Chains A and B, each alone.
Chain A
Amino acid sequence: MTITGESEGLVEAVDGKAYTVGPLLSGPPCCRPETQIRVDGLSLGYGGKPALKDVSLDIYRGCITALIGPSGCGKTSLLSCLNRLTDLIPGCRVEGRIMLDGADIHSSGVDVQALRQRVGMIFQKPNPFPLSIRRNLEMPLKEHGITGRSELAARVERSLVDVGLWDEVKDRLDGAALSLSGGQQQRLCMARALVLEPEILLMDEPCSALDPLSSAVVEDLIETLRGRYTVVIVTHNLGQARRIANYAAFFWVNDRAGTLIEFDQCRRLFEQPRHQLTAAYVRGLRG
């Protein structure tokens, strides 16, 4: 074990609770209403067809923000804008501004690879690379310039401890990542994002491809990320959004383009929605 600083607290935490994130417990106070990402008048279209129209919202530092709404309302599209993964989609056009800590992520001087290191992403279907567990974590680190053997080993271990996978895989780090179960694979993918020490994590329905037990484990894990990371999560599971999110944004399709209907603190959005559509959706009447 080469975890530094908070290692004592970490060990206790691991002993006490199976899936506790280590050093994060001593991180900044949970969820400050301080804007980290400001989405301003964002519109997006694929080959001329609008998918998202004029969305503006603030994403707060250290909080979990849930994006909810029916399929096809542009939630995933919004998520992909935040790390500029939309750049990879041919014919995808993005208008409006996304300010990350006050700087426009679409301005010409932005290093997209550095941006994606700061803004990690977890996908619906676990997508570990067909490499060993260790290579899955080391390879991105090496590509971002971290080559010291002891630092690599330390960061691999810390990220696996963070996602509660260390005890399960420490004896087979050189085994194939694809031989892990679905839930383990998804946690490995989270470790792979965490190992780069991002500030923000984007999650696109991270539990929807998992069985209920694995899903609960991953959900607990997301909850423990609050405070150290800013999390934006797309979910169709309203119960999940309600359980883990501090803020929630409700999207709906208007004129075949996704629009933001309501954005509020999660509890208020579920208990005192201001908009009729929101009220109907969260009560399960629509969508």
Chain B
Amino acid sequence: MSPSARDARLLRWLAFAAGLASAVLILIVLFLMQESWPVIARYGLVHFVSARGWHPTEGTFNLVPMLAASAATSALAIALATPLGVAAAIFSRFYAAGIVGRLLHWVIVLLAGIPSVVLGLWGLTVIVPLILKVAPPGTSLLAGSLILALMILPTIALTTEAALASLPSAYGIGAAALGLSREAIIINIAIPATKASIFAGVMLASARALGETMAVLMVSGNVVQLPKSLFDPVRTLTANIALEMAYATGDHRASLFVSGLALTAVVLALAAVARRSGGQVVHA
């Protein structure tokens, strides 16, 4: 076979693989739309935020408690993980010399590798009893947020670290030659120069937090209610789908697809924002 024919064949295969990958995404979104359509057509979108509670067998599908739970656990997790992740990245980049920095880097990478069900197990046996001592029942919004924070910490730390590493060394040397302290370099140059990437990392972490199911399901208590305090048990959108999918039928089943569709839309939007702000996608 001539080189140009080989090249053409390779091109066909690559185009097929690329097409397949994008087709799957489109098919999944179409499938979600199709499955959720019956209930949207019957009740209208407003129903999902205005109905009297979540009583799927009686035909009321208010998703607000689940939406609120997802938003609250993710927001709290982001609030906890962002300063920690950025601080860890700055420490490993600027302060931890040699072996300590490499060790810290690997610990963060390994943390990203822990399966979420294992984190959930750990949360259930360690975090939940601790919270129980403060305020029962232990399984709560707070427990879910803490576990989520642990899960997304590596995403934020690794994107920040990669962004800091991509800064030209000329900035650091130039700043040192001006007699600037390390602290001044970090605050005045490194962080402003990487804030778009840090923001992108936080957006990706938010997407991951919103989509996470198993660990939150295990530690958050799964009561459908608007949380009034950090210690209230809550049920996230994802947990709701996982818990009810097995037995849901008809409109109930379709309403779960509505939550799936909403979740997918938010996560894709966050990923798009992350991409626009110039961050690189680091899947932790």
Please report A residues at the B interface, Cβ cutoff 8 Å: 83, 85, 88, 112-117, 120-121, 123, 125, 127, 129-131, 135, 139-140, 143-144, 189, 192-193, 196
Contact = CB atoms under 8 A, between A and B. Distances in A.
B178 interface: yes
B174 A85 contact: no
B177 A85 contact: yes
Q: Which of A143, A144, A189, A193 has the most CB of B within 10 A?
A: A143
Interface string B139-182: 00000000000000000000000000000101101111111110
Nearest to B192: A131
Given A130-B189, A130-B192, A143-B184, A88 B171 contact: no
Contacts of A193: 178
Contacts of A140: 178-180
Given A112-B179, A127-B173, 10 more contacts: A83-B177, A85-B176, A85-B177, A117-B178, A120-B177, A127-B170, A130-B189, A131-B189, A131-B192, A140-B179
B193 interface: yes
A139 B188 contact: yes
Nearest to A124: B170
Given A127-B171, A131-B189, A113 B181 contact: yes
A125 B171 CA distance: 11
A213 B205 CA distance: 49
Contacts of A115: 179
The main secondary structure of chain A at its interface with chain B is: helix
Given A129-B189, A131-B192, A116 B171 contact: no
Given A130-B189, A139-B188, A116 B170 contact: no
The 9 A-B pairs at the shortest CB distance, nearest first, are namely: A116-B179, A127-B170, A113-B179, A121-B177, A127-B174, A117-B179, A140-B178, A143-B184, A130-B193
Q: Which of A85, A120, A129, A130 has the most CB of B within 10 A?
A: A129
Contacts of A129: 171, 174-175, 188-189, 193
Q: Which of B174, B175, B189, B193 has the most CB of A within 10 A?
A: B174
Given A130-B193, A131-B192, A143-B188, A125 B170 contact: yes
Interface of B: 168, 170-171, 173-181, 184, 188-189, 192-193
A29 B187 CA distance: 41
Contacts of A196: 178-179
A114 B173 contact: no
A114 B177 CA distance: 10
11 contacts: A85-B173, A85-B176, A85-B177, A121-B177, A127-B170, A127-B171, A130-B189, A131-B192, A139-B184, A143-B178, A193-B178
A20 to B, nearest CB: 25
The main secondary structure of chain B at its interface with chain A is: helix
Contacts, number: 64
Nearest to A131: B192
A112 B182 CA distance: 12
Nearest to A115: B179
Contacts of A116: 176-179
Contacts of A192: 178
Q: Which of B171, B176, B179, B184 has the most CB of A within 10 A?
A: B179
A135 B180 CA distance: 14
Nearest to B175: A129
B283 to A, nearest CB: 27
Nearest to A128: B174
A28 B178 CA distance: 25
B179 A114 contact: yes
A189 B171 CA distance: 11
B50 to A, nearest CB: 48
A112 B180 CA distance: 10
Contacts of A189: 174
Nearest to A83: B177
Contact of A88 (B173, B179, B180, B193): B173
Nearest to A126: B170
